[in-house]
A and B are shown apart, each in its own frame.
Chain A
Amino acid sequence: MRVSRGTRLSLRVVALGYLFVLLAVPIGVILWRTFEPGLSEFIASISTPAAKSALNLSLLIVAITVPVNVVFGVATALTLVRGRFRGRGLLQAVVDLPFAVSPIVVGVSLIMLWGAGGWFGALDRAGFQVIFGIPGMVLATIFVTLPFVVREVEPVLHEIGQEQEQAASTLGANGWQTFWRITLPAIRWGLTYGVVLTVARALGEFGAVIMVSSGFPGVSQTLTLLVHSRYIDDHNTYGAYAAATLLMGIALVVLLLMTLLDRKRSDR
């Protein structure tokens, strides 16, 4: 199909304009507003006790969520790709559930399950606080980030097939050795990308977490909750911008780190 020069140009303008207005401008505004008063102001705003605590809590949640999702995500992907069993289709659908269910619904269901009056409320009444505590926030984050590793690893497993693993077994490797030496290196790209998505989503999750957090500054606020409370409750607009910038900064660093790490490994 021949497209005239005019059409091509206007298509490009529309696409770029769309991305600019919807993505670049909002992020640009936050960055501009953050650094407008100078770097020292920004640092002061993100080093208040509440901000430090929020950063720590966000990183703690990521630190728990990522290993859990890696282990169970890879196991689930292996089950889905290699297993031949009834109910595989159902499992496929269940894995996608967090994509379909609104995070706020996740929060509500967690309260109904783990809250003082819920099915597992005995735990709460025994003094182990899940809801309005860190365990609840971790559970909510795991729920919403569960599909990422599975869905990134699955197609890679499909693609590599089973021949390399079978070759390893004929050469004397047992299941565990085959997994560590053959399967894991082969899926590392998919796994890396799954982890990056998990980290980004875990840092950015708001809806599910706000439902199960008590939201005390300096105690149970993640970075997203801090941005929200600074903006809505404290009318501290600048503080919200600064915390948001910090959030974006961490996500960016994670992305860069993972890319560098993998490039280094595949160069070997």
Chain B
Amino acid sequence: MITVTSARKDYGSFTALDDVSLDIPSGSLTALLGPSGSGKSTLLRAIAGLEELDSGTVTIEGRDVTDEPPQRRGIGFVFQHYAAFKHMTVRDNVAFGLTIRKRPKAETAKKVDELLEIVGLDGFQHRYPAQLSGGQRQRMALARALAVDPQVLLLDEPFGALDAKVRTDLRQWLRRLHDEVHVTTVLVTHDQEEALDVADRIAVLNKGRIEQVGDPVTLYERPANDFVMGFLGSVAHLGGQLVRPHDIALERDRATALVLDAKVPDSPGVIDAVVERVVPLGFEVRVDLRADSGERFAAQITRRDAAELQLRAGETIHARAVGRSSVVDHDPALAI
């Protein structure tokens, strides 16, 4: 368990962390998700000891490490830009932590070989980082961090510098690795898809504060506020409310729409809108709409519904919210 209590960090007039408290359960894979400048990286670096807090405490597995330097926190850290030791071979990079700890040579060699096999870099022992691809370098960095048997593994936008395909592969690989190794893992990302894909818990940060912590399903379906709702998944503005595009139903007949809408509590009502564009997205169809008020929004409906409706650009249609995932405690101050 990692516990951060009342963490505060200012850079001049900019507040990176504003009284942040967070519990990260042992064995979980937690994502710190937020836009740039939200304080997510600062929080991670504070847990690692790479950033000193102005106030607040950090404990790792019950040990207060607030005043400990990084080398005495029992952590593994993976940087966005790999931080590979350029003058060392892959083997020496991975062995670094063990060499520092003066472990017997044979033990170190065995452990390094094991780890290189796990991360799929078997046979690359004698290469230098410059001779590896970005994805390979990051896997080497992961092996290097895991070599010292850290109590917690901290990853700072680990896939941010990689191209889309490698990124997807690597995060699924990380998920599988975590299922095998079970080390408490904290991952910083600005990519909601990545967070939903790999993490079993997500903490959403904004402007140095934690907006909500929970499992991906809860965050997606019962966001605490408009910010969380807007940051996790796409949203449409419908009659002054935020609605998921796939929670918008379209009806040809206004009377039917009104009857169905009456069954939904707190709905934004039936909105008349003009179809601007119909975009097939494979399984689903996105319908770009413009409300009478001039506000544009998009609805996402199934192929079958789209086929039934036979929508054409320029037609008027009646939109209503089915209203499943919406903000639980609507706080207008947080509206975006």
Contact = CB atoms under 8 A, between A and B. Distances in A.
Do A and B belong to a common assembly?
yes
Given A167-B77, A170-B75, A177-B100, 11 more contacts: A163-B83, A169-B70, A169-B71, A170-B76, A171-B144, A171-B145, A171-B147, A172-B97, A172-B100, A173-B100, A174-B69
Given A166-B70, A166-B83, A186-B86, A171 B48 contact: no
Chain A residues touching B, majority SS: helix
A164 B81 CA distance: 10
Interface string B135-156: 0000001001101100000000
Interface of B: 48-50, 69-71, 73, 75-77, 79, 81, 83-87, 96-97, 100-101, 141, 144-145, 147-148
A185 interface: yes
A27 interface: no
Contacts of B50: 166, 169-170
B86 A164 contact: yes
Contacts of A171: 71, 76, 96-97, 100, 144-145, 147-148
B259 to A, nearest CB: 61
Contacts of B100: 171-173, 177, 181
Most-contacted residue by chain B among A171, A174, A185 (CB, 10 A): A171
7 contacts: A166-B70, A169-B70, A170-B50, A170-B77, A171-B147, A171-B148, A186-B87
A30 interface: no
A72 B49 CA distance: 29
B312 to A, nearest CB: 55
A171 to B, nearest CB: 4
A95 interface: no
Nearest to A266: B87
Given A172-B148, A174-B71, A167 B101 contact: no
Contacts of B145: 170-171
Given A170-B76, A172-B97, A185 B87 contact: yes
Interface string A161-189: 00110111111111001000110011000
Nearest to A165: B83
Given A166-B50, A166-B70, A167-B77, A172 B83 contact: no
Contacts of A164: 83-86
Contacts of A182: 85
Given A173-B71, A186-B86, A168 B96 contact: yes
B81 A163 contact: yes
A171 B141 CA distance: 11
A186 B87 CA distance: 7
Contacts of B86: 164, 186
A170 B71 contact: yes
Contacts of A186: 86-87
A264 to B, nearest CB: 14
A184 B96 CA distance: 16
Contacts of A169: 50, 69-71
A163 B70 CA distance: 13
A174 B145 CA distance: 16
A131 to B, nearest CB: 44
Contacts of A163: 79, 81, 83
A164 B50 CA distance: 12
A181 B98 CA distance: 13
A259 to B, nearest CB: 18
Most-contacted residue by chain A among B48, B77, B144, B147 (CB, 10 A): B77
A169 B50 CA distance: 9
A170 B96 CA distance: 11
A172 B49 CA distance: 12
Contacts of B70: 166, 169-170
B122 to A, nearest CB: 22
Nearest to B45: A166
Nearest to B48: A170
Contacts of B144: 167, 171
A50 B79 CA distance: 60
Contacts of B85: 164, 167-168, 182
Contacts of B77: 166-167, 170
Interface string A101-139: 000000000000000000000000000000000000000
B223 to A, nearest CB: 34
Contacts of B81: 163
A172 B98 CA distance: 9
